[in-house]
Amino acid sequence: MSARVIFLGPPGAGKGTQADRLATEWGVPHIATGDMLREAVQEGTRLGLEAKRYMDSGALVPDEVVIGLAEERLGEPDAARGWVLDGFPRTVPQAEALDSLLRRKGIDLDRVIFFDVSRDELLRRLTGRRVCRQCGTAFHLVFSPPAKPDRCDRCGGPLYQRADDAESAVAHRLEVYTKQTAPLLDYYRQRGILTTVPAEGKVEEVTSAIRHGLRLKVTS
């Protein structure tokens, strides 16, 4: 089966979980922007080293570097039959560059799936993480709570909430994401390939909704 799909959605929407499940089902790679950047840095490629300069300084990696990395990754043998892109593109210029790349290769983008999750649910998911100060084990107050409140199951150490998991920090991340992504959703909506999927149900329910929304063209 050939599948070329983009998953878009805010932090905490569950894109990675669904991408792992469906990419395995379809026999194509799950390509996440963060993983792509880390692999390029570890391999010491020209673009990887350039990306590292920005990452080390805490700056955003420029579009042209991310686009170059994506082009390299999509050109690898395992991506010949398709892929699930998770976290790329993030901007309209990146989307336009991806379109240009696909046109040069003579292939089509099947579908863009937007994971629709309410702000309250995202806050619940993203602020629930707690980490042990002694051993670093992570818990989640909703999805994987500790047996004893505020204590690590593994070593008994105290649990704390990281600064970037605090509600104010998470709310800012979501605001930035919304502003950045709105034009991207419009871009794909105008092309007629955007499908919105409610992503607050059980994992299996969301997977089923994605399958239904994709209506993929299946090729041998």
Distance between CA atoms of 88 and 157, rounded to whole angstroms?
38
> What is the distance of C-alpha 97 from the center of its chain?
19
Catalytic residue among 133, 162, 211, 217: 162
- Helix pair 92-105, 63-74: axis angle to 10 deg: 30
Catalytic residue among 4, 15, 73, 111: 15
CA dist 182 to 53, 64, 65, 92, Å?
28, 21, 22, 10
15 is catalytic: yes
Catalytic residue among 73, 125, 129, 130: 129
Query: Which of 84, 87, 83, 105 lies closest to 95 in space, CA to CA?
Result: 87
Catalytic residue among 38, 151, 173, 189: 173
103 is catalytic: no
211 is catalytic: no
Beta strands in the chain (DSSP E): 3-8, 30-32, 82-86, 111-116, 129-132, 138-140, 159-160, 194-198
Catalytic residue among 90, 124, 151, 189: 90
Active site residues: 15, 90, 129, 162, 173
